Amino acid sequence: SSQNLSEEFAEAARQLKKAAPRIQFGKIDVTYQHDLRKEFNIQAFPTVKFFVNGSREDPIDCKGVRKASTFITWVKRRTGPSTVLINSTDQAEAIIKADDLAVIGFFRELHTDSVEVFCETARDVPEMPFGMTASEDVCANYGVQRNSLIVFKKGKPVHDEVLEDGKQSKLGLTRLIKTFTLDLVTEYNIETSVKIFDVPVENHILLFTPMNSETFNEIYENYQSAAAEFRGKVLFVLVDTNEARNGRIFEYFRIRDIDVPAVRILNLTSDARYKMPADEVTMENLKEFCQSYLNGKAKQHLPSEEIPQDWDKMPVKVLVGKNFNSIIF
């Protein structure tokens, strides 16, 4: 909520007052400040923007940051080095074990495009520590081919990504790394829905199934295996159709009891929905569905009648599935 974020924001301001007195924190209620709302195109609440070097042009958006400690890390990485330079195995171990998640870049040399992309990514992912090294000893200790990024979870390597100049974008790496703040498959509920939308992956696949069904374990295993292959490209979500509180999401996707298990892909940017053509939730069908979607070959699923021509004529507007999202939200 805005109130909660406001408190965390104030706590970050308190802590940074001593550590970085040059950084000023301010709060604006745009219900009264219409000009500012318009100037900075504020559409969602709360919005946090960071103004650099006294300029009101092109402030940096601070998205998905909700805790004081993460605010502080985010600001420090914007105003100073975004990663820790690692010179010894002990130093690497300290970073890897300090948090649940850590990202280490292992490089041949520290002045390349991929190092720059790595450091820029670190600025956008304040939820976890980033370190980088060009030390032969450290690379050898982890048995790492140089020029790769490793994500450590609870001290153990869980993902290895080869880094090549010009191959990775900051957004691609940010998406991939942020997915590790979620489980491989995230069960949808009130708590996780906020986290799901904080991860900047616009393609979501949803499996609708009763979690107490006899076939659930087998289906879930297939779903997890597919999730591992598309990490960073498609976010895998599980919706328990036995949970009454998930009713709104079934309505949104027009899922009925007789349809389950059902698999849908949602593109958050365009709000386009896609239905898996096959009924069986097998590894092959899931992979084929995700791949055809990513290749732009999947057919949109439009569970809605056409928008009536006179939908906008009367004081009460006529909504159907196709215009519901754009009008209401």
DSSP letters for 197-208 = HHS---EEEEEE
Q: Is residue 143 in some structural domain?
A: yes
What pLDDT does residue 102 have? 97
Q: Block means of pLDDT (10 residues each) for the chain, length 329 residues?
A: 80 86 83 84 82 83 85 89 95 95 95 94 94 95 91 94 90 93 93 86 95 95 97 96 88 84 93 92 97 93 70 77 68
Instruction: Check whether residue 68 and residue 92 sit in a common domain.
Output: no
Instruction: Check whether residue 199 and residue 130 sit in a common domain.
Output: no
Question: Domain boundary residue among 120, 143, 178?
Answer: 178
Q: Is residue 161 in some structural domain?
A: yes
Instruction: Check whether residue 109 and residue 205 sit in a common domain.
Output: no
**What are the two backbone dihedrals, phi and then psi, of residue 323, each rounded to the nearest 5 degrees?**
-110, 0
What's the Cα-to-Cα distance from 87 to each of 11, 84, 107, 137, 161, rounded to whole Å?
Answer: 33, 10, 12, 9, 21
Q: CB–CB of 162/135 below 8 Å?
A: no
Q: Is residue 313 in some structural domain?
A: no
What pLDDT does residue 321 have? 66
Q: Is residue 315 in some structural domain?
A: no
pTM of the entire predicted model = 0.80
Residue 214: CB partners within 8 Å, gap ≥ 6? none
Q: Is residue 320 in some structural domain?
A: no
What pLDDT does residue 259 have? 84
- Residue 17 and residue 23: Cα distance in Å, rounded? 8
Instruction: Check whether residue 45 and residue 4 sit in a common domain.
Output: yes
Counting the structural domains of the chain, the total is: 3
Q: Is residue 321 in some structural domain?
A: no
Instruction: Check whether residue 74 and residue 115 sit in a common domain.
Output: no
* Cα 41 from chain centroid (whole Å): 22
Question: Domain boundary residue among 79, 95, 118?
Answer: 79
Amino acid letter, 67:
K
Q: Is residue 329 in some structural domain?
A: no
What pLDDT does residue 157 have? 94
Range of the domain at 266: 191-295
Instruction: Check whether residue 113 and residue 142 sit in a common domain.
Output: yes
Instruction: Check whether residue 208 and residue 173 sit in a common domain.
Output: no
Q: Is residue 312 in some structural domain?
A: no
Instruction: Check whether residue 69 and residue 90 sit in a common domain.
Output: no
Q: Which two tokens stand for residue 34?
A: 């219409």
Instruction: Check whether residue 289 and residue 207 sit in a common domain.
Output: yes
Instruction: Check whether residue 48 and residue 89 sit in a common domain.
Output: no
What pLDDT does residue 274 have? 95
Amino acid letter, 31:
T
Q: Which helix (H) or strand (E) holds 116?
A: helix 113-124
Amino acid letter, 95:
I
- Residue 164 and residue 82: Cα distance in Å, rounded? 20
- Residue 292 and residue 286: Cα distance in Å, rounded? 10
Question: Domain boundary residue among 11, 46, 79?
Answer: 79
Q: Which two tokens stand for residue 156?
A: 């153990």
Instruction: Check whether residue 75 and residue 89 sit in a common domain.
Output: no
What pLDDT does residue 175 have? 93
The CATH number of the domain holding residue 145 is 3.40.30.10
Instruction: Check whether residue 93 and residue 133 sit in a common domain.
Output: yes
What pLDDT does residue 252 have? 85
